[in-house]
Amino acid sequence: MLTCKDFLREISEFLDEASDPLTRAELEQHMSQCPNCWVIFDTTKKTVQIFRGMEPEPIPSAVQSRLLQALEKRMAARKCSAEGTPASG
């Protein structure tokens, strides 16, 4: 039986129609029984449809810099957590 977590892990391949037939059937069955996952699927599908074909816009350098800093900080915190050492701020 598929869980919501399994569904979320597979939704991208499902939307790209890259899932194998068995997995696809399991995902469809899960969605038919889980209103929350159906809403996530429907919203994600509509979002992809809206943005498909649009020209990508460059990220402003200030935003890109802040994003990279946030990602580096998060990765460092995870590494410290896994090693059992405190993260430095």
Q: Supply the pTM of this predicted model.
A: 0.61
pLDDT digits (tens, 9 = 90+) for 34-68: 999 999 999 999 999 888 888 888 999 999 999 99
Residue 25 identity (one-letter amino acid): A
Hunting for tokens 């350098």 — which residue is that?
A: 61
Upper half-sphere CA count for residue 29 (Cβ side, 13 Å): 10
Position 83 pLDDT exceeds 90: no
d(CA 26, CA 4) in angstroms, rounded, equals: 12
Q: What is the pLDDT of residue 85?
A: 62
Q: What is the pLDDT of residue 56?
A: 84
In the chain, % of residues over pLDDT 90: 72
